[in-house]
Structure 1
């Protein structure tokens, strides 16, 4: 006696055959988690449509937000000015160190400065 498998049947009641890794669940499961900070950065860097000087323009979302805050603050909106100032303070505290140029005084630089020669490149 041969036994028939129900998996081999055809028709609307037949089980669906799928390849591994094609479902949304599989793709979501294999996707690495994105940190909250990287999500916020990605959204603030995403281009948005804005109107600047009467012309439509694409700019990063953060730039559009700051542009609106500056415009409203110039129009006399005190809340927009406080928000802009708070963001400016936050940005200064959390930004990378600025480039600092240090001139070193030694015998060579003193002699070079005294000679008055400047090489225009």
Structure 2
């Protein structure tokens, strides 16, 4: 429990990838995504790589990028299909695609590597 401005808040620790139930009048879940970070080299001077992984079992309908392509934050990398829904997989950072781990027609499992962006 935490208190601020005369209000009491119930708090808990969440991890990246957790689905957190919304309480009170809100219905549904909140997905806890990766923390935002600045693009660029880390302390050792090498570029940080962002691994984009599948969040569910799905069919790969199309792949929009190849290794070496420049992408921006929010650019579509891959289009997945699951339960008759099309799900675009978006880059969460700007950078260069270092690796594409899927091709059209593949079936991905939860946690499979889709692409790496540096």
Shorter-chain TM-score tier: under 0.3
Query: Quick check: which one's strand share is greater?
Result: 2
Structure ID, larger Rg: 1
TM-score under structure 1 length normalisation: 0.19
Structure with larger RCO (C-alpha < 8 A, sep 6+): 2
TM-score normalised per structure 2: 0.19
